[in-house]
């Protein structure tokens, strides 16, 4: 049996970046992040087989990234919560405030930003783009934000960012790898499926 390629075995934290006002902003180091992809299927049935599916059709795909802000400040609090607005004093930038509003009717596409997750490998952020997760359009959509005050345990802000289709990039949800490769790459590889 061949030995495993240990360069493909990964564990550890990551850094998160959000593009804000056309500038990539470091959001913080995270100890755990999870990307989830949910595919929704419709069964096709035939009269003579009752409810037995004879085929399935993909009718939708959703993706999201969940992570915890461990570096607690008002700016990260504002990033995690839809409907929040942060203020920074022009004269004294250390004076800040966050206000939270019920943004009923807010559409996420209008506030979506680029989100990048870059793993820490060997104690430093990897430059290997095959290990990065990049979503061109992401927005916070947590249903519940819990921020616990307790006498034991580190306080964290749990966040969930919904990854939406980017119409400027053929409706992709996210990518991993070199962004400059086009679908007309000479290798001709078009994927497994």
Low-confidence ranges of the chain (pLDDT < 70): 1, 6-11, 29-31, 182-193
**What confidence score (pLDDT) does residue 97 get?**
92
**What confidence score (pLDDT) does residue 158 get?**
82
- E strands, the chain, where? 14-20, 23-30, 33-45, 53-69, 84-88, 96-100, 113-121, 124-125, 133-140, 157-163
What CATH number should be reported for the domain holding residue 59? Answer: 2.30.110
**What's the domain range around 90?**
6-169
Q: Confirm whether 182 is domain-assigned.
A: no
The pLDDT tens digits of the residues spanning 176-190 come to 988 887 665 555 555
| Residue 51 contacts residue 45 (beta carbons within 8 Å) | yes
How many structural domains is the chain composed of?
A: 1
**What confidence score (pLDDT) does residue 179 get?**
83
Helix (H, G, I), strand (E, B) or coil at 159: strand
Q: Confirm whether 162 is domain-assigned.
A: yes
Distance CA 23, CA 67 (A): 21
**What confidence score (pLDDT) does residue 10 get?**
62
Distance CA 163, CA 64 (A): 5
Structure tokens at 181: 């490769």
Q: For 72, which DSSP code?
A: -
**What confidence score (pLDDT) does residue 112 get?**
92
Q: Confirm whether 129 is domain-assigned.
A: yes
| CA nearest neighbour of 42 among 29, 51, 30, 31 | 51
Beta bridge partners of 121: 124
Q: Confirm whether 52 is domain-assigned.
A: yes
From the number of C-beta atoms within 10 Å of its C-beta (0-12, 13-18, 19+), residue 65 rates as buried
Q: Confirm whether 177 is domain-assigned.
A: no
Q: Confirm whether 18 is domain-assigned.
A: yes
Dihedral over alpha carbons 89, 90, 92, 93 (to 10 degrees):
70
**What confidence score (pLDDT) does residue 175 get?**
93
Q: Confirm whether 176 is domain-assigned.
A: no
Q: Confirm whether 189 is domain-assigned.
A: no
The pLDDT tens digits of the residues spanning 142-180 come to 877 777 777 777 777 888 999 999 999 889 999 998 888
């Amino acid at each position: 049996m061949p030995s495993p390629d240990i360069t493909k075995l990964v564990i550890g934290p990551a850094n998160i970046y959000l593009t804000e006002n056309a500038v990539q902003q470091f959001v913080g180091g995270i100890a755990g992040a999870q990307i989830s992809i949910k595919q929704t299927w419709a069964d096709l049935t035939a009269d003579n087989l009752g409810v037995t599916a004879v085929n399935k059709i993909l009718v939708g795909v959703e993706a999201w990234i969940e992570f915890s802000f461990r570096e607690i400040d008002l700016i990260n609090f504002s990033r995690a919560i839809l409907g929040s607005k942060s203020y920074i004093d022009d004269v004294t930038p250390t004076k800040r405030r966050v206000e939270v509003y019920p943004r009923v009717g807010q559409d996420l596409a209008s506030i979506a930003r680029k989100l990048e997750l870059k793993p820490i490998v060997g104690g430093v952020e990897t430059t290997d783009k095959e290990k990065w997760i990049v979503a061109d359009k992401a927005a916070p959509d947590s249903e519940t934000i819990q921020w616990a005050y307790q006498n034991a345990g580190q306080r964290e802000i749990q966040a969930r960012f919904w990854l939406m289709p980017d119409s400027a990039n053929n409706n992709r949800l996210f990518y991993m790898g070199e962004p400059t490769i086009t679908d007309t790459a000479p290798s001709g590889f078009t994927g497994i499926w």
